Chain A
Amino acid sequence: MKKTLISLVLVLALLGGAVAGRDALLFKILPMVASHFAVALKVEAVHLELFPLTLKAKALEARWRGGEAHFKGIEARFSLFIPSLRELVVDEGRVLIRPSPGGGESGFHLPATLRRVVVGQLTLRVEAPGGELEIGRCGLWVDTRRYVIHGGLSWEGRGVKLKGRFSFAGSRESLAMGGLRGGGRVEGTLWVGKRVVKGVLNLPQLMVNPRGPVVEIRGGYLELPGVLEAEGNLALEDKKGSMEVKGKVVSLGALGGFVSAFPRGVDGVLPFSGKVLWGSRIVYRVELEGGRLWGLNMGVLKKVFLAFSGVLEGDGDGGSLTLDRLVLEDLKLPWGEDGGWKGRGDVDWRKGVEGLAGHLDLSKGEMKITVEGSVPQRRWGDARVTLAFKNIDGAWLSRWANFKTSLWDKGSVEGRFQGEVKVRGGGGKWAVEGKVKGEGLSVSVPPGNGMEGVGASLAFRSRDLVRGPWHLSLDLGEGQALYSYWFFDFSRIPWHFSLDLSRSGRGLCVEEAEYRGLGQGKFQGRFCFPGGGKGKVVFQGKSEVLYSQLVSEPLGEDEPYLKKVSLGGGLKARIFVAWNGALAMKGTIGWKGRLEAPRVSLEGSMVVPLVYASKGREEGWFAMERLTLGPLVLKSWFTPLKGRPFSLKGSRGYEASLWKGSVRWGPFLLYYRDVRNPRFEVDGLSFEGLVPPHAPLPMVLEGKFDKVEGDRKDIFFHGVVRVKVADGEVKITKLRLLNPFTDLMKVGCDIEFQHLNLEELTRVTPFGKITGYIKGYIKDLVISHGQPESFRLRVETQDVKGVKKRISLEAINSISILGGGGPVSLFLPFFKSFGYSYLGLACTLKNDVFTLHGLKRKGKYEYIVEKGGLTGVDVINRNPHNRINFDDMMERLERIRRGKDEKN
């Protein structure tokens, strides 16, 4: 009766609230009364927003079984004060439960005996520092014997996202005992970063203290089918809790948050045990077998991963799984033969480093890590980390670092490394200092480039490991390197580099660089990768070393003349270099010394101005002390050099006395827009009255070229050379050099001559004496390697008054031999010389084939020499279609020379 009365009062009160409109009704639910009545109350579509601790209801349906009364469609909003639930306000369809102003005992307390009560569907959204928790479609179903709490659950925060359903069931007796006690189950999907974990959390013993928010779960375990298995205990005390979990992780997704700075993911068989602190912290221990951690991203070394197995312990907050404490022990690298970690260390990121010390003992080397000092979370503290290693295999290191760049793709590294790297925290950054020494290093970079047996020492330091600047120095003291045709032996000439690097918006930048080896160089400025930059380069070195290493040795096989050239003295360059998609240079290159080449020698000094793809001008000079060109010796020439964009001008010409005559040339200009084939011009080249001192015949040389111009392929001399010799004159025109800077250099010209005294000419040759005068020409003469390659020759006698025309028997023999016959002296033993009236022949050479013709034709015969009278002699070409091989001709000339020698 009492129960019925109370129920009736409650229902009437609610009904009254609805009917009373805006006037609020206050219900005081007395536990003593409520415990004596059975009510059925159903709340549908009620949304409760608990932030903070304020609940709102949109719809409410209540059913009282005894009196058929029920509520439906009531808009309700109420604040729930958990301690006593003493105030329930219904205001025109709204139910308001006001919290008690005085606070008090927290918790939900219903000391009533309830039977089949379902408490609505609730949606809770809680914003917390670690994320946002939403509990939706949540309901409490209670009957006289048991209660069921069920609902949807989602949690999002710090890279972790959980979505699922939960349900807990307990007995009514446990509720009567003052708490919710029973078993629970959470089934859902957990996203950690991009990893998805699906599973079921079973909590066989769950206890919720109705007097306070203390939830204690004992013996719960998490089921992650095929993925994660765990069991443990979750307890909440004073808004904190813990969950001890023991289990085995077969595969676990990426760890988010701060951990991503080091291991971005864990993948492998990961048995673990640990403790989860509810809402804020997780303490865990993970054993890794053949797992892999990756994600170390240093900007340059991408896709770096470390694969290992071992034990990982840590604690962190549940929202982000931030790694607060790390223990590494007995880690094994995946390459079993390489060994594993020996030792153990602990890192507590909150408190600082507490002595992480590891020792990586590899079968091919060993590594030791020691940490001293403290490292507060997300700050660097004053920790000192030392990484010491020795005998580390280069091949293993390259695999570990996974070096793959456009330069190094498919490359390989061999050799052994040792060294020590020290990292020191302080002022919110890491300072780093280290030395690495490599021995017997071999680096192979396709196609066939690389280094072998190199001994290298690398030292580096930085005030801030992450942001820089960094200083690096590298010494290469042993071994060899090859790039294309360039080969360097570091044991002969050691190399040293030092670099000061910084980081900017454009990338990694070189601020200063030094080089010692083939010379000494220094760069100052800013050159970024990628992007480019600009700066000043100063370089100096010995010309001999630079020339032999960079020019004659690598290129001398292809161009043997380079090997015949030697360059002495010193070279010094000072150039401003800029790169912004294209190279631009401006500066000077100085040289002082001596250049030696076959038949050429130069002593002098110069400062060559260089303006390449750049604006402005540079000035320099060229001072020649002595130039020897075969027998020619020229002295003392100085000219200012003016550098303009893509050009160089020597403004002052040269004039000097030489061989009783003089030689002069004008200003010159060099264009190098096409650096592979620069063009040059000399404005005027002439020589007058030159009397070569060692010429076989007295002669005077005169030449005048209006212009000399050319490039790498051809040099043309626009003018005439005249040689006064043997009472006559030889005129040389169309003089040109083909392939002048190669071993295949050829000289081409046309020659005309007239009034040449044969007696004089034959006197200095083994041909045999002939008297008379000749005229003629040699057209299209090409001389290659000191031998004629082609020409068209025509020679004939020239009548000169008072000059007798006689030909010696020796000369007749020579002509006979040249024509392919033998000596004729046996047949003409009584005469030493013969008169002739005409001598004329034409000769051509092409493709190593000579043709020889007499110019006088009588009948079917060609006369090379026509007799002058009865006692004369005819030399007849009996085969007008003759073709004489070059080698045969050389052999015949040799026979002529030998004949002369034997006579002498």
Chain B
Amino acid sequence: MKRISRLLLLGLAVFVALSCVTVNIYFPAAEAQKTAKEIVNEVRGVKVVPEKKDQGPQSFMWVGVAHAGEKALEVSNATIRALKESIKKRYPKLKPYLARGVLGESLDGYLVLRSTDGLSLKEKAVVRRLMKAENDDRKALYQAVAQALGIDPSQIPRLGRIFAKEWERTAPPGTWVEVKPGEWKRK
């Protein structure tokens, strides 16, 4: 009997130990891809067909609320909106430099300076400042989206790579895009 008890205790200990070392990292890939696509479409001005709204019927003497069909829910909040607005506002300034091959879209979701040949010093200064501002906003955006989606901060680089595909997809022709680590091609 004692022996059985010991075995049971040992089994329980092993079970507890194994339970303790289990690490689950949540990463909603599909949702992240959808979010990235929506955000990038919006800030890059890619038009999508809006969903129709459904006005529900009302009842006499009762006032029914909240049964109306809702707009497709996005991952957003005030910070994300502010960042989207900032990125959207900056995009017209960035676009010519992307198309000229001055800036490139890297695999990790950030802008990279490719070549400043032919740029005046003033333009170089503008490009550097734009790139830093854009990358800082993107970094903050990835953090905010990760927080909204409940993604662990350690997985933010993965989120960046998902965004990278959308940035590359919507980049203007002529943009350098990183297709493999260290391998670039012009769109």
- Please give the residue numbers on chain A whose beta carbons come within 8 Å of chain B beta carbons, in ascending order: 448, 450-452, 480-482, 484-487, 489, 554-558, 560, 743-744, 746, 782-785, 787-790, 812, 815-816, 818-822, 824, 827-828, 846-849, 852, 864, 873-879, 882-888
B34 within 8 Å of A (CB atoms) = no
Q: Roughly how many angstroms separate A450 CA and B56 CA in the complex, as a whole number?
A: 65
Can you add 5 more A-B contacts, CB < 8 Å, to A560-B86, A782-B78, A848-B81? A554-B129, A744-B83, A746-B79, A785-B82, A873-B63
Q: A451-B121, A557-B133, A821-B56 are in contact. Are A815 and B70 (CB under 8 A)?
A: no
Q: How far, in angstroms, from A743 to B116 measured CA to CA in the complex?
A: 29
With A and B bound together, what is the CA distance between A815 and B56 in angstroms? 15
Contacts A785-B81, A824-B58, A885-B73 hold; do A485 and B68 have CB atoms under 8 A apart? Answer: no
| A-contacting residues, B57-102, CB 8 Å | 58, 60-68, 70-71, 73-83, 86
A784 x B78 contact (CB < 8 A): yes
Least CB distance from B128 to A in Å reads 6
Task: Decide if A848 touches B74 in the complex (CB within 8 Å).
Answer: yes
* Bound CA–CA A4/B86 (angstroms): 124
Given known pairs A784-B82, A788-B78, A886-B76, the reply for A485 and B66 (CB within 8 Å) is no
Verify B76–A485 contact, CB threshold 8 A: no
B interface, size bucket: 35 or more
In the assembled complex, the CB of B111 is this many whole angstroms from the nearest CB of chain A, namely 13
In the assembled complex, the CB of B26 is this many whole angstroms from the nearest CB of chain A, namely: 15
The answer on a CB contact under 8 Å between B74 and A482 is no
Contact B132 A816 (CB under 8 A): no
Contacts of B61 in A (CB 8 A): 827-828, 873-874
Q: Which of A784, A847, A849, A852 contacts B66 (CB 8 A)?
A: A852
Contacting pair B86 A820 (CB below 8 A): no
- Nearest CB in chain B: distance from A749 CB, A: 15
Q: Chain B residues with Cβ under 8 A from A815's Cβ?
A: 63, 65
Partner of B70, one of A790, A827, A884: A884
> Given A448-B124, A485-B129, are A824 and B63 also a contact pair (CB < 8 Å)?
yes
Between A and B, 12 residue pairs with Cβ closer than 8 Å are: A450-B121, A451-B121, A557-B132, A743-B86, A744-B83, A816-B58, A821-B56, A821-B65, A824-B58, A848-B73, A878-B67, A885-B70
CA distance A789 to B60 in the complex (A): 35
Question: Closest 6 CB pairs between A and B?
Answer: A819-B65, A820-B68, A882-B66, A784-B78, A487-B125, A557-B129
With a CB–CB cut-off of 8 A, which chain A residues contact B136?
558
**Interchain CB contact under 8 A, A885 and B65:** no
Known: A883-B73, A887-B71, A888-B71. A484 touches B128 (CB 8 A): yes
B120 contacts the other chain (Cβ, under 8 Å)?
Answer: yes
In whole angstroms, how far apart are the Cα atoms of A847 and B125 in the complex?
36
- Which residue of B66, B121, B130, B132 is within 8 Å of A878 (Cβ)? B66
Residues on B lying within 8 angstroms of A by beta carbon are 55-56, 58, 60-68, 70-71, 73-83, 86, 113, 116, 120-122, 124-125, 128-130, 132-133, 136, 140, 148
Residues of B within 8 A of A846 (CB): 77
- B150 to chain A minimum Cβ distance, whole angstroms, is 9
Contact between B63 and A787, CB atoms less than 8 A apart: no
How distant is A60 from chain B, measured CB to nearest CB, in Å?
85
Q: Which residues of B contact A746 (CB under 8 A)?
A: 78-79
Cβ-closest chain A residue relative to B60: A827
Q: Are B81 and A821 in contact (CB under 8 A)?
A: no
Give the Cβ gap from B58 to chain A, nearest Cβ, in Å: 6
Asked if B64 contacts A878 (CB within 8 A), the reply is yes
By the criterion CB–CB under 8 Å, are A821 and B120 in contact?
no
Q: How many angstroms between the C-alpha atoms of A848 and B70 in the bound complex?
A: 13
| Distance of A556 Cα from B132 Cα, bound (Å) | 11
Query: In the assembled complex, how far is the CB of residue A430 from the closest CB belonging to chain B, in whole angstroms?
Result: 38
A820 x B78 contact (CB < 8 A) = no
> Looking at the complex, which one of B63, B67, B73, B116 makes contact with A812 (CB distance below 8 Å)?
B63
Contact between B133 and A558, CB atoms less than 8 A apart: yes
| Most interface-central of A556, A744, A788, A812 (chain B CB within 10 A) | A744
Closest to A819 in B: B65
- The answer to whether A820 and B82 touch across the interface, beta carbons within 8 angstroms, is no
Q: Which single residue of chain B is at the shortest CB-CB distance from A828?
A: B61
Is the Cβ of B70 less than 8 Å from the Cβ of A876? no
Residue contact A884 to B66, C-beta cutoff 8 Å: yes
> Are A885 and B74 CB-contacts (below 8 A) given A450-B121, A487-B125, A822-B58?
yes
Q: CB-CB < 8 A to A883: which residues of B?
A: 70, 73
Considering the chains assembled together, what is the distance between the CA atoms of A558 and B129 in angstroms?
7
Say whether A876 contacts B64, CB under 8 Å. Answer: yes
Give, as a whole number of angstroms, the nearest-CB distance from B82 to chain A: 5
B121, A481: Cβ atoms closer than 8 Å: yes
With A557-B129, A849-B73, A873-B61 given, is the CB distance from A879 to B67 under 8 Å? yes
Enumerate chain A residues within 8 angstroms of B82, measured Cβ to Cβ. Answer: 743-744, 784-785
Q: Which residues on A sit within 8 Å (CB–CB) of B78?
A: 746, 782-785, 787-789, 848
Judge whether A848 and B129 touch: CB under 8 Å: no
In the bound complex, what is the Cα–Cα distance between A489 and B74 (angstroms)?
A: 46
Question: Are A888 and B70 touching (Cβ within 8 A)?
Answer: yes
Could you tell me the distance between the alpha carbons of A451 and B124 in the complex, rounded to whole angstroms? 11
- Shortest CB-to-CB span from B34 to chain A, Å, is 14
Bound Cα distance A557, B129 (Å) = 6
Establish whether residues A874 and B63, one from each chain, have CB atoms under 8 Å apart when the complex forms. Answer: yes
Report the minimal beta-carbon distance from B93 to chain A, rounded to whole angstroms.
9
CB-CB under 8 A from A877, the residues of chain B are 65-66
| Residues of A close to B64: CB separation below 8 A | 816, 819, 821, 876, 878
Contact A487 B70 (CB under 8 A): no
B74: chain A residues within 8 A (beta carbon): 848, 885
* A557–B130 touching, CB < 8 Å: yes
How distant is the Cα of A328 from the Cα of B107 in the complex, in angstroms? 61
Q: Which residues of A contact B55 (CB under 8 A)?
A: 822
A877 to B78, CA, bound (A): 26
Chain A residues whose CB sits within 8 angstroms of the CB of B113 once the complex forms: 448
Residue of A nearest to B150 (CB): A847
Q: Shortest distance in angstroms between B161's beta carbon and chain A's nearest beta carbon?
A: 22
Q: Which residues of A contact B58 (CB under 8 A)?
A: 816, 821-822, 824, 827
Which residues does chain A contribute within 8 Å of B67, judged by CB atoms? 820-821, 878-879, 882
| Cα distance A788–B60 in the bound complex, in angstroms | 34
Q: Tell me which residues across on chain A come within 8 A of B63, comparing CB atoms.
A: 812, 815-816, 821, 824, 873-876
Output the nearest chain B residue to A823 by Cβ-Cβ distance: B58
Contact status B65-A875, CB under 8 Å: yes
**Bound CA span A493–B170, Å:** 41
B7 to chain A, nearest CB (A): 48
**CB-defined contacts of A819 to chain B, threshold 8 Å:** 64-66
B133 x A480 contact (CB < 8 A): no
- Chain A nearest Cβ from B85, distance in angstroms: 8
CA distance A560 to B134 in the complex (A): 12
CB neighbours of A827 from chain B (8 A): 58, 60-61
Closest to A789 in B: B78
Least Cβ–Cβ distance between A865 and chain B, in angstroms: 8
A848 lies within 8 A of B77 (CB): yes
Q: Which residue of the partner chain, among B65, B81, B121, B133, contacts A820 with CB atoms under 8 Å?
A: B65
Q: How far is the CA of A787 from the CA of B77 in the complex (A)?
A: 9
Q: Which of B56, B71, B116, B129 contacts A885 (CB 8 A)?
A: B71
Closest chain A residue to B145 by CB distance? A847
Q: Which chain B residues border A847 with CB–CB below 8 Å?
A: 75-77, 148
Is A452's CB under 8 angstroms from B70's CB?
no
A593 to chain B, nearest CB (A): 26
Contacts of B130 in A (CB 8 A): 557
- When chains A and B are docked, how far (Å) is the Cα of A828 from the Cα of B62? 10
* A848–B148 CA distance with the chains assembled, in angstroms: 9
Residues of A within 8 A of B60 (CB): 827
A787-B81, A849-B73, A874-B62 known; A558+B121 contact, CB < 8 A: no
Q: How far is the CA of A485 from the CA of B73 in the complex (A)?
A: 39
Instruction: Report Cα–Cα, A517/B80, bound state, in Å.
Output: 42
Assess A876 versus B71: contact at CB under 8 Å? Given A450-B121, A847-B77.
Answer: no
